[in-house]
Amino acid sequence: MSSWRKKSLDDNPLLYEFVNDDGITIRVRKGTKGNLNTDILVTITDSKIGDSEEKNIKHIYWVVDVLMKKEHDKDLMNQFLRVFVNSWNSLDTFKSNRKDDIEQWINSHLNNIDLSEYESLNEYGFCQ
């Protein structure tokens, strides 16, 4: 009889870790699927709700979160989505999933985006 073992995140070396003031930690780990030179795994931990286990971010959670936020402030959420799409369209792809390449990519693409005007959206949805 075969047994199934949950894969340990130790199999995916940590490439980058971001901790925000609200107790949410986002980690970028080296992936093991697809193109092994550029594949990454993104996980999240939310300490403010007592969550200490890293979880993969599922696309459907993000979609539902956007819809819930949009229900409460349609104009602001639409503005955020326009900024997001414009930023997305200007991004370069990863050159590799080496730690220094990931850090350089984050510093050149993400650290210059000011999201402070959208903080009121954090009151709604999954990502609160």
CA distance 50 to 45: 9
Contact between 16 and 28 (Cβ < 8 Å): yes
Pair of tokens at residue 56: 């993969």
3 state SS of 70: helix
User: pLDDT higher for 1 or 114?
Assistant: 114
Q: For strand 40-46 and strand 24-30, is the pairing parallel, antiparallel, or unpaired?
A: antiparallel
* 19-25, Cβ contacts within 8 angstroms, sequence gap of 24 or more: 22/48, 22/122, 23/47, 23/48, 24/48, 24/127
Predicted confidence (pLDDT) per residue in 47-80, tens digit: 766 666 777 767 777 788 889 999 999 999 999 9
Residue with the larger pLDDT of the pair 7 and 83: 83
Mean of per-residue pLDDT scores for the chain: 78
Q: Considering the entire predicted model, what is its pTM? A: 0.62
Q: Which of 83, 101, 85, 88 is nearest to 39 (CA)?
A: 101
